[in-house]
Amino acid sequence: MDRDIASEKTPATIKELQARVAAAFGRHPLCRDVRFDIVSTPKTRSGANWTVSMSAIPPNAVWEASELVADIQNAYILAA
């Protein structure tokens, strides 16, 4: 079964993705101080065409921040 994974994702602009990631980090007590930027990338076979560049991650928040980003990446594709 060859389906386009990207078609199952909701299109979002960089600003919308920034808002969603900021909201997710803001809701999690360990991730509130994480600084990040949304980076456009070439489209991959899995449909990914954006990623999150994180900095200033508290050591105890690395796992949680990564999980939050992965969940958002599974749901959204960067709108053209």
Q: How far is CA 10 from CA 28, 39, 49, 67, in A?
A: 23, 17, 12, 19
Residue 4: predicted pLDDT: 54
* Distance (Å, whole) CA 17 – CA 51: 10
Residue 48: pLDDT band with limits 50, 70, 90: low
| 5 pLDDT more than 60 | no
Residue 38 DSSP symbol? E
Task: Tell me what the mean pLDDT of segment 40-53 comes to.
Answer: 81
Global confidence as pTM: 0.83
pLDDT band, residue 1 (cuts 50/70/90) = very low
Look over the chain and give the mean of its residue pLDDT values, rounded to a whole number. Answer: 88
